[in-house]
Structure 1
Amino acid sequence: MAAGKIQPADQVRIQFRDKSEKWRFIKKYKALYLLSLPGILYFLVFKYVPLAGSLMAFQDYDLFKGFTGSAWIGFDHFKSMFAYPDFMRILTNTLLIAIYSLVFAFPIPIILALLLNEARKVMFKRTIQTIIYMPHFLSWIVIGGISIEILSPSTGLVNHFIVWLGSAPIYFMGEEAYVKAIIVLTGIWRDAGWGTIIYLAALSAVNPDLYEAAEIDGASRWKQTTAITIPVLMPTITILFLLQIGNFLDFGFERVFVFLNTLNADKGEILDTYIYRVGLIDKQYGYTTAVGLFKSVVGLVLIMLGNTLSKKTTGEGLY
């Protein structure tokens, strides 16, 4: 098959008759290859090379002996992991926070995109977009500091309102019952607006003639949304949902760590903060590598199952 000619269906590849033809093709599109080089290097250095460290999960790893000198212990770390009572508590915390985030946080950018898509005043639309995007550019340290101040029992805005209603102030950061809600809600505040960018970009591809034809046929705004807008968004929603499923146990260290203290850690600690505490502070490198490998395997299984189910039901998938 000649260079530059694409095979049909899902067998998309370019075949070359010889190496010289291949190099001519690369030279022709060298600008695109150079643009992709930083991304390729990023994944090689930070994603693929560290995979070699997975060997520590099967070793009694010694920092000074390295991979070659450390003793092999097989699946002992995994046995200890599931036998340790604290691990099951932390795994439960991680699962609950991930489920809450999936149920409550994932739909918010979709709803915001649908609402902004209905806005007719361009200035109003751009102002709202800017306001809801801005928190994304703040670090989790800043987000944590702002949230702690807002929820402070003495000076916080929320407790001032609670006292105004005639109730006693609540120490939100010291109560185990509130920590999961705080983590999820601050995540929504920070990232919901940024997530709408993808959905608004997808909606920009909708042909306005479709809405005009629907309006002529007497369709209401709600009917136009359900019959035109949401079907256009479904492929994007499916892809982002699958990506979130793949990161189900990888909730993020910094977004949780900033809210943890000795009073709420029992219900707020997740696998990422546990790996930091046990692996880096207590220096149990092999054990926490096993925990991290367990997270990765679960994520891989979930994304493969989700992709298979998605392709069977909607025809859309990651691969």
Structure 2
Amino acid sequence: MRRFVYCKVVLATSLMWVLVDVFLLLYFSECNKCDDKKERSLLPALRAVISRNQEGPGEMGKAVLIPKDDQEKMKELFKINQFNLMASDLIALNRSLPDVRLEGCKTKVYPDELPNTSVVIVFHNEAWSTLLRTVYSVINRSPRYLLSEVILVDDASERDFLKLTLENYVKNLEVPVKIIRMEERSGLIRARLRGAAASKGQVITFLDAHCECTLGWLEPLLARIKEDRKTVVCPIIDVISDDTFEYMAGSDMTYGGFNWKLNFRWYPVPQREMDRRKGDRTLPVRQLPTLSLVALVMSSTRTTGDWQKFGWMNSKISSISYHQKEMCYM
């Protein structure tokens, strides 16, 4: 009996020290030059670690496979949002994801005084699980002092759970979340403009309503804006399978462009750009022909400053592809 009690004490003590080691490792690996004013007392990465079960469906970005007996129901639910809603609903709202960054990116140190950002997310009849998973990934993997607010712009959704239920839910989140309702269906660009007009952050970050941000996603984007306020930044766009919700790393060796039919496509980074970067793949690809509108980061001064000369985003254009063409000439 004494030996059994002794073993339990040893195991409990060992577990406690493992948790302490994890805390210290995360703290000193992410919190470069921390100070009190930046409110880094509990890091987003640590909050994510202690709040999820990494053995659950979809954890670490793994695929979720639906049993054969549920295939028919899965196909019916698929029609609602054109992705596997059954798989999405099985996955935790704050699921874990692998760190898909290049090794060189993991050791980058960014300036302390980065601008903060308002994250604008437009949705229309979005599924509860994908919308909230987007919001949680932004909150859990963004340094708190860099995240001014999250703005959800409802482009005239019709589903009841996206009304009062959503409003009550986001009130309990640790970052200010504002919901703006469009009076009528207006389209992505008009809704984004509405969210931008209501934003308070120094930088505006636009995200789709079914994204998942990974560790270290925000700092490099804001660092580019700090270097040049006229810069518009687009991150690497990773892929989430619409069938299994598997998280797959995107390629840093591709960039956006148009074919001769003016359709958006991904193309290999040209050799001249590789030569300019001297083989350092952690440096940004410059002079992109066009940017993906899935995720876009820009200085908020553009609403009243530089972009006023270009008309900001043209609210009279409804097609997303035309906005990509418009932006590539700015």
TM-score per shorter chain, which class? Answer: under 0.3
The structure richer in strand per residue is 2
Q: TM-score, normalised by structure 1?
A: 0.23
Q: TM-score, normalised by structure 2?
A: 0.22
Q: Which has the higher contact order (CA 8 A, sep 6+)?
A: 1
Structure with the greater alpha carbon radius of gyration: 1
The structure richer in helix per residue is 1
